[in-house]
A and B are shown apart, each in its own frame.
Chain A
Amino acid sequence: MKFSYSWLCDHLETDKNANEIGEALTNLGLELESLTDYSEYSKFVVATINDFRKHPNADRLNICKVDDGTNTYQVICGANNVKKGLKGIFAKDGMYIPGTQINLKKGKIRGEISEGMLLSERELNLSDDHEGIIELLDDFENGTSAVEALKLNDPIFEIGITPNRGDCLGVRGVARDLSAKGVGKLKPLNFKKINQLEFASPIIWNINNDDNSCEYVVSRYFKNVNNSKSPEWLQKKLISLGLRPINALVDITNYITIDLGRPLHVFDADKIGKKLDMRLANANERILALDNKEYTLDKNTTVIADGNNALAIAGIIGGDLSGCTDDTKNVFLEVALFNPNSVAQTGRSLGINSDARYRFERGLDKNMVIEGLEYASYLINKICGGLVSKNIEAGKLENFEHKINYNFDYFNKTIGLELDPQKQIKILKDLKFQINKSNEKECEVLVPSWRNDVKNKIDIVEEIIRIYGYENIKQSVPSASIDEIDKIDNSSSNKKFKSIKKLKKTLISNGISEVITFSFHSIRAQEILKGDKSLKISNAISDDQSYMRNSMIFNHLESAELNFKKGFKNIQLFEIGPIYNSSQSQENILSLLISTEENTNSIYKSEEFNFYSLTELTSILISSLNFDIKQFNISRSTSNTYHPGQSAELFMGKKLIARYGKVHPLIMEEFSKLKNCYAIELFFENLPIDSISRANNINILDSQFQFSEKDFSFLFEKEQNLYEVQRYVKGLDKNLIKNVEFFDLYVAKDLGDDSKSVTFRVTIQSKEKTLEEKDLEQLHKNILEKVSNKFKAKIRS
């Protein structure tokens, strides 16, 4: 909402300056977004070019003699409109030029001294015009301030109006709020009612809609008007806000919309029928609107129509064909009350943002209907002349009446501040709320007609504190109770964040960086990773953000490629965030991606990253969550994201804990720059939260006795799960077998196609004594026999 200082003063008698008013507006909840105040431009003055000559060293420059009323200056000027006698705006040495943001400095330009500058509109931030220097047409005396010469003495306020404050979408409403804050006194509306309503309107109304979208409409017919340019005061007001004056009738309606926040509409009465309907549009009915666009309407749109033609979209925009032009002789003025909901719905579905819609959908002051009619009639009659008809109306104008029972203590309890009932009442009265009955404890408040947002007693509290001032609320010192600390300690979400932090620390210390990518999938990613189709975003901004992701791997491959293009060869990144399986199923997981290049550095050689390196990393991550990878059930992954032969899934019962492996070559086709990519997805939410959030303090008791190591080689079936073998061997003697470590795997033709040779080392140690040779031999024998029996394995050594 934009208005000028002088416009505000039409309604408000105040001695406050623009800055003070701006601050008061913000404190009222009418946030000042900008205040354009040119008062500092008074340092720039009118000056005349008395004479000029070409610059000897530059074709396009002129050397001007400039008179500012006090002195004469030499000014080098490059503008093409330099001429003798031109009156412009002059800036002297040392002055700050707002448009270029520099301080002017006296100096030589191509060898000739320049003592100041003649300014363009752009250099004054008045417009983008930099075609030439400002040329004043009126005959101002040299030395007159630029503020006066350029009529910049009227600061412009731009304020943000929250959706509840429809009453402040008119300058008068803003003035009313300011007066309640004590910034000034609200002036009475200054106009005369027209007493001579000579004749009955030849055009009549009929409200014929079934959805109650129009409650009431009232009109007057103006005969023999003279519609031409508006008077200067009206044009100036509109121009000050950047609006273009059109003709008197249109300007008057625009003016009242801004002045009172009351939208109304004028039809050229000779272009419309004699009976106007307020009705729902027919399906596919079309209208050419005042914005020069054609709209196709549907059955939910209320239109104003004559016979078969829609003339206007109710509460939103008028039709082009029935609009008033300079030739308009007879006018039909419409002031209506439309239902905010239907205006909002229609406006949104047609995508029209008009001043009228903006106000109607926020709800209008019912008592302003007749006042608006009178005010508009007064202005039309005064400016355009002619005769005015009696009112013609349809529907019923209900009185606005809303009462709230309010107890003064409610304020104190809500705000935490004792405010005397008399002070509360005073504030409410200043806001033009009526106090009907009151005692020490409570009162009945009658809400003014323009405050349809004030519905409950809590709204009354807000009104009082808004005027009393938020700065007067006393802040208290926050604290935590024992119960609250207890809740935090037991909160599973708190525990989860704790575990996530541990996980992140482990990842970072392993050289992996954290990224955050969008929760979206591109259309391509969705096709490849086959997520749930119903997770399509209906109003996506772009094809890249069309679905909710069911995996992060695609996003991470994109990140990897981006980083590859920046010159990174080995990329290691992770993200902890949500993936979506359906609208009702989302889980937070860790997803990491490692993209490696062949190492060509002959000096700094590193081991090639492969599936087993990835397994080791998975194991480290799982350890950081207090679990041992080997306690889970391992199987090959069936996910089509991964290489079928180089990927694994870990399960705890039926719950998937982790999935990791080489990214499937078919997916890698999309990322031709990247070579070897490996990913881990850790579904940590499937692990018991109390176990993973525990601080890691595993007690490993060192035995003081000698340990012994023994290697075993077996020929297993090729698909034998070695996690099972390991668990089995460990379980053979939980007291003595400390560790079982697999260190060799051999698969070759000479073993046959369905066998593998596997070697592991068993560490044996007692907590009680140094084991004797015969104890060890017994245990070795036991391992050999049991393993070969259990897994049908051949002993190789």
Chain B
Amino acid sequence: MDIKKVLNEVTKEIEQSSSQQELQNVKVAYLGKKGKITELLKSLKDLSLEEKKSSGSKLNLLRIEVDNLIKNKFNDLKIEEINSKLKNEYLDISFPPPNSIASKAHPISKTFDEVITIFGSMGYSVAEGPDIETDFFNFSALNIPENHPAREMQDTFYIDDKDKEGKPYVLRTHTSPVQIRTLLNQKPPVKIIAPGRTYRCDSDSTHSPMFHQVEGLFINENANMGDLKGTLIEFCKQFFNVQNLKVRFRPSYFPFTEPSAEMDIAYEIVNNKIQLGQGDRWLEILGCGMVNPIVLENCNVDTNTYQGFAFGVGLDRITMLKYGLTDIRSFFSGNLNWIASNGFTIGEF
């Protein structure tokens, strides 16, 4: 029996196999139940013990070698097959995707969030009030009587429906009615901010019939104007992210605060852009003051014991300033292009 001959023969056949099926046929022809090598192994039983020993081990080695050769060839054929299959699976990776637009949060959302966080770190909790207000909460309780010229400072929207006093409901012209609602509900100390929608009948590039404000109110035994100043400067530093911030407080008038002030921050024009913090021009940022004792008395707060301050900030305005936006009307246009270019991704929000 010529083992070498068989090995040469089978090696040749394995190498010539070009598919897994052909290889499988070779495997059956040599190692299958009736395969040549299997038959040779079977024929051992007719031999003498000594011949069994010498031929047996040689035949076994042959069987193992052939088995390995087939396994290796199988592996090669599989890789070859996959590779040739892959060639048919090539896609046009340059086919452009349809246009898509980033989904983002509105800049006002970001500002709301920052305002709540910054004032939260100073101990202010959030309070809310309705957009449709009574004359009492929006005006009279805030020391703005009827026919007072101060009413003309704000162009009020009126609703057809009338309240219990027979006066038409108004769309709140400021967030200040939340001061009254809170003080009537809650004994001092009170430290709240009230962000929300406000309305005035006015419409141009800097005025929108609907806009946003945040009200602040701090009433306790000794909150004074120095605290007011410190609070608002700290807020602006954090909100505008400017540590070196030049500010100016100047006297103003609001019926519900006394003394009243407006806060300006300095700016300069650098490369045609507003840069906040320094310079010799001023931008009005907010109105504030010590709560007028008349207002506290309207809310049954004992003015011999309690005092404090209030402020109101236009959120659209500070958002525009912070991000260099120029037209308030675009805030409310629902234009997704605008949101995509000026809004905030989930990571930024």
Q: Are A475 and B292 CB-contacts (below 8 A) given A29-B253, A416-B224? A: no
Closest B residue, CB atoms, query A558 = B334
Answer whether residue B225 sits at the interface, using C-beta atoms and an 8 A cutoff: yes
Q: Which of A161-169, A323-331, A389-397, A721-729 contacts B (4 or more CB under 8 A)?
A: A161-169
Instruction: For A484, give its contact among B148, B191, B339 (CB under 8 Å).
Output: B191
Q: How far is the CA of A346 from the CA of B346 in the complex (A)?
A: 54
Q: Which of A487-495, A616-624, A645-653, A769-777 contacts B (4 or more CB under 8 A)?
A: A487-495
Inter-chain contacts of B166 with A (CB < 8 A): none
Answer whether residue B121 sits at the interface, using C-beta atoms and an 8 A cutoff: yes
> Which B93-122 residues have a C-beta within 8 angstroms of A?
95, 97-99, 101-106, 108-109, 112-113, 116, 120-122
Answer whether residue B240 sits at the interface, using C-beta atoms and an 8 A cutoff: no
Q: CB distance B251 to A494 under 8 Å?
A: no
Instruction: For A515, give its contact among B99, B261, B339 (CB under 8 Å).
Output: B339
Q: How far is the CA of A474 from the CA of B228 in the complex (A)?
A: 10
Answer whether residue B320 sits at the interface, using C-beta atoms and an 8 A cutoff: no
Answer whether residue A477 sits at the interface, using C-beta atoms and an 8 A cutoff: yes
Could you give, for residues 270-282 of chain B, a 1 whenever the CB lies within 8 Å of some chain A CB and a 0 otherwise? 0000000000000
Q: Which of A241-249, A530-538, A691-699 contacts B (4 or more CB under 8 A)?
A: A530-538
Q: Which of A125-133, A215-223, A464-472 contacts B (4 or more CB under 8 A)?
A: A464-472
Inter-chain contacts of B130 with A (CB < 8 A): 584, 586
Q: CB distance A516 to B108 under 8 Å?
A: yes
Q: Are A473 and B252 CB-contacts (below 8 A) given A479-B123, A505-B349? A: no
Q: Are A604 and B261 CB-contacts (below 8 A) given A474-B226, A537-B171? A: no
Answer whether residue B158 sits at the interface, using C-beta atoms and an 8 A cutoff: yes
Total contacts A to B, CB within 8 angstroms?
267
Q: Number of residues in B with C-beta < 8 Å to the partner?
A: 89
Inter-chain contacts of A569 with B (CB < 8 A): 98
Answer whether residue B56 sits at the interface, using C-beta atoms and an 8 A cutoff: no
Q: How far is the CA of A339 from the CA of B329 in the complex (A)?
A: 41
Closest A residue, CB atoms, query B195 = A497
Answer whether residue A449 sits at the interface, using C-beta atoms and an 8 A cutoff: no
Answer whether residue B64 sits at the interface, using C-beta atoms and an 8 A cutoff: no
Answer whether residue B47 sits at the interface, using C-beta atoms and an 8 A cutoff: no
Q: CB distance B149 to A163 under 8 Å?
A: yes
Could you give, for residues 444-482 of chain A, a 1 whenever the CB lies within 8 Å of some chain B CB and a 0 otherwise? 000000000000101101100110001101111111110
Inter-chain contacts of A417 with B (CB < 8 A): 225-226
Q: Which of B3-11, B14-22, B25-33, B230-238 contacts A (4 or more CB under 8 A)?
A: B230-238
Q: Are A501 and B113 CB-contacts (below 8 A) given A465-B259, A478-B122, A534-B160? A: yes
Answer whether residue A296 sits at the interface, using C-beta atoms and an 8 A cutoff: no
Inter-chain contacts of B259 with A (CB < 8 A): 414-415, 458, 461-462, 465-466
Q: CB distance B132 to A580 under 8 Å?
A: yes
Q: CB distance B125 to A488 under 8 Å?
A: yes
Q: Are A535 and B160 CB-contacts (below 8 A) given A29-B252, A480-B123, A508-B104? A: yes
Answer whether residue B345 sits at the interface, using C-beta atoms and an 8 A cutoff: yes
Closest A residue, CB atoms, query B249 = A470
Q: CB distance A471 to B249 under 8 Å?
A: yes
Interface range, A side: 35 or more
Q: CB distance B209 to A476 under 8 Å?
A: no
Answer whether residue A700 sits at the interface, using C-beta atoms and an 8 A cutoff: no
Answer whether residue A563 sits at the interface, using C-beta atoms and an 8 A cutoff: yes
Q: CB distance B126 to A513 under 8 Å?
A: no
Inter-chain contacts of B333 with A (CB < 8 A): 559, 562
Q: CB distance B226 to A571 under 8 Å?
A: no
Q: How far is the CA of A558 from the CA of B132 in the complex (A)?
A: 24
Inter-chain contacts of A471 with B (CB < 8 A): 248-249
Inter-chain contacts of A481 with B (CB < 8 A): 123
Q: CB distance A538 to B346 under 8 Å?
A: no
Instruction: For A537, give its contact among B113, B128, B157 (CB under 8 Å).
Output: B157
Q: CB distance A504 to B109 under 8 Å?
A: yes
Inter-chain contacts of B327 with A (CB < 8 A): none
Q: How far is the CA of A560 from the CA of B101 in the complex (A)?
A: 14
Answer whether residue B258 sits at the interface, using C-beta atoms and an 8 A cutoff: yes
Q: CB distance B105 to A555 under 8 Å?
A: no
Closest A residue, CB atoms, query B337 = A566
Answer whether residue A26 sits at the interface, using C-beta atoms and an 8 A cutoff: yes
Answer whether residue A88 sits at the interface, using C-beta atoms and an 8 A cutoff: no
Inter-chain contacts of B97 with A (CB < 8 A): 604
Answer whether residue A577 sits at the interface, using C-beta atoms and an 8 A cutoff: yes
Q: CB distance A415 to B336 under 8 Å?
A: no
Q: Are A470 and B103 CB-contacts (below 8 A) given A537-B158, A573-B336? A: no
Q: CB distance A473 to B226 under 8 Å?
A: yes
Inter-chain contacts of B189 with A (CB < 8 A): 483
Q: Are A578 and B332 CB-contacts (below 8 A) given A416-B226, A477-B230, A513-B104? A: no
Answer whether residue A361 sits at the interface, using C-beta atoms and an 8 A cutoff: yes
Answer whether residue A344 sits at the interface, using C-beta atoms and an 8 A cutoff: yes
Closest B residue, CB atoms, query A538 = B158
Inter-chain contacts of B292 with A (CB < 8 A): 458
Inter-chain contacts of B152 with A (CB < 8 A): 163, 348
Q: Are A571 and B293 CB-contacts (below 8 A) given A27-B251, A28-B251, A583-B132? A: no
> Which A294-353 residues have a C-beta within 8 angstroms of B?
340-341, 344-345, 348
Answer whether residue B266 sits at the interface, using C-beta atoms and an 8 A cutoff: no
Q: Are A583 and B336 CB-contacts (below 8 A) given A456-B293, A508-B104? A: no
Q: How far is the CA of A170 from the CA of B262 in the complex (A)?
A: 23
Inter-chain contacts of A734 with B (CB < 8 A): none
Q: CB distance A538 to B160 under 8 Å?
A: yes
> Which B65-118 residues have a C-beta within 8 angstroms of A?
95, 97-99, 101-106, 108-109, 112-113, 116
Q: Are A163 and B253 CB-contacts (below 8 A) given A416-B226, A508-B104? A: yes
Q: How far is the CA of A277 from the CA of B321 in the complex (A)?
A: 56
Q: CB distance B334 to A494 under 8 Å?
A: no
CB distance from B310 to the nearest CB of A (A): 13
Q: CB distance A475 to B159 under 8 Å?
A: no
Could you give, for residues 554-598 of chain A, a 1 whenever the CB lies within 8 Å of some chain B CB and a 0 otherwise? 011011101100111101110001101011101000000000000
Inter-chain contacts of A572 with B (CB < 8 A): 103
Q: CB distance A415 to B225 under 8 Å?
A: yes
Other A-B contacts than A344-B149, A578-B131, 9 sampled, CB-CB below 8 A, are A462-B260, A476-B226, A491-B126, A509-B346, A516-B108, A533-B160, A537-B160, A539-B201, A604-B98
Which residues of B does A touch, CB under 8 Å?
A: 95, 97-99, 101-106, 108-109, 112-113, 116, 120-128, 130-132, 147-150, 152-153, 157-161, 163, 168-169, 171, 189, 191, 197, 199, 201, 203, 209-210, 222, 224-227, 229-231, 233-234, 248-253, 258-262, 290, 292-294, 307, 331-337, 339-340, 343, 345-346, 349
| 23 A-B pairs with C-beta separation under 8 A | A26-B250, A27-B250, A29-B250, A163-B253, A340-B147, A415-B226, A459-B258, A461-B258, A462-B260, A465-B259, A477-B234, A478-B230, A478-B231, A488-B120, A493-B125, A496-B126, A516-B332, A518-B210, A536-B160, A539-B157, A562-B334, A573-B336, A586-B132
Closest 10 CB pairs of A and B: A559-B334, A29-B251, A480-B123, A484-B123, A416-B226, A162-B253, A416-B224, A462-B259, A534-B161, A163-B149
